[in-house]
Amino acid sequence: MKRWQFWLGLLIGGLFLYFSLQGLHLDVVWSVMQTANLWWLLPGIAVYFVGVWARAWRWHYLLKPIKPISTNAMFPIVTIGYMGNNILPARAGEVLRAFVLRKRQGVPVSASLATIVVERIFDGVVMLMFVIFNLNGLAQLSADSGFVGSIQTVALVGTLAFAVALAAFLLAAAYPHQSLGLYQRWIMPRLPAVIGNRLTPMLESFWQGLESLRSPANVLMVFVTSIAIWLFETAKYWFVMHAFDFSLYSGGFFGLMLMNGVVNLATTLPGPPGHVGTFDGPGIAVLAAYGLPREIAASYTLTLHAALWLPITLLGAYYMAREGLKWNEVRAEYEKLEHEAE
């Protein structure tokens, strides 16, 4: 609560939420939510958890060069991590699942964090693909749709950033000794001894986590799996859509892909736990750009957000309790990593 990042996230999320709800008739939004056929959430939640299982398989695949761990063992850890992301600021759930993996399987935190960073880069690339495949819909976004700012510019900048990050990781994985050599020759001598002694073992462990990217076949497998994961999530958007009156919506499944890409790119910004506001504002804007009345778009987006947040948070909390994990252990681990990074 004392960290400036927490308050910055609350501010950004609050601004997004304010602009997304501005001018809406909230009584109509509530009325639309009350008349929604919420039975459609059940198949949506089911297909979403198929995607979560695919995430567990992808993480198992990335970790295989470090330690072979079954997907069955990875699934609870993945849900714990996503639960952490939903209730903790600054995506601290990623550190949480790295901590649980070390506790359960003995994998160094730095190595598992490397694989998590790789996951996020591939996720970002897929999200940008979803956006780029739907540039016509993207061009319709304007202030009239309720979103302030240029998503087109964000998409272009994001494409460049993720492409550079992916290229850097692939080169580091392909040439581990050379890339570590550059660090040891140019950076390590300029660091204070205390920092260098802490940082060097962490980086060596981190580079070990990139080992799965040394094979083009592995890179292709992770990329294809990432596409499947996000198509499963878009399928959830599609199922939940049927709970509402989308007769004026012109986007079809590809429009939902664009919504998925835009909202997940927006949630990479600092925001409050659960992406309150940063998910909802862009989602409403995309649907309004495709002709859906904003009150229906808001009702759908808020319902979808709850359906994405609640089931995996409850399941992650169950697995965390089953593991006997305590929040003070997690906090101590998080503070330890922050201290080592300073």
pLDDT tens per residue, range 198-208: 666 666 666 66
Query: DSSP states of 186-220 as a string?
Result: IIGGGS-HHHHHHHHHHHHHHHHTTGGGGSHHHHH
Nearest to 128 by CA among 164, 88, 161, 155: 155
Instruction: Tell which wins on pLDDT, 195 or 6.
Output: 6
Contacts of 250 (CB under 8 A, 6+ apart): 290, 291
Domains of the chain, by residue range, sit at 26-341
Judged by average pLDDT, the poorest of 46-60, 85-99, 216-230 is 85-99
Asked if 231 contacts 135 with a C-beta cutoff of 8 angstroms, the reply is: no
Judged by average pLDDT, the poorest of 69-73, 123-127, 239-243 is 123-127
Instruction: Tell which wins on pLDDT, 226 or 265.
Output: 226
* pTM for the full predicted model: 0.84
How many Å apart are CA 244 and CA 339, to the nearest integer?
Answer: 48
Burial class (CB in 10 A: 0-12, 13-18, 19+), 327: exposed
Check whether 241 has a pLDDT greater than 80.
yes
Instruction: Using the structure block, give the residue that is written with the tokens 């909802």.
Output: 280
pLDDT of residue 172: 73
Average pLDDT over residues 315-329: 86
Instruction: Tell which wins on pLDDT, 248 or 335.
Output: 248
DSSP-H helix ranges across the chain: 4-21, 26-34, 41-63, 71-87, 93-105, 109-132, 135-139, 151-174, 176-182, 193-208, 216-241, 252-266, 280-289, 294-323, 327-341
The per-residue pLDDT for range 129-174, each reduced to its tens digit, is: 888 787 666 666 554 544 544 556 656 666 677 777 777 777 776 7
The per-residue pLDDT for range 80-100, each reduced to its tens digit, is: 999 998 988 777 888 889 989
Asked if 251 contacts 290 with a C-beta cutoff of 8 angstroms, the reply is: yes
Asked if 321 contacts 300 with a C-beta cutoff of 8 angstroms, the reply is: no
Instruction: Tell which wins on pLDDT, 189 or 264.
Output: 264
pLDDT of residue 148: 41
Average pLDDT over residues 306-327: 92
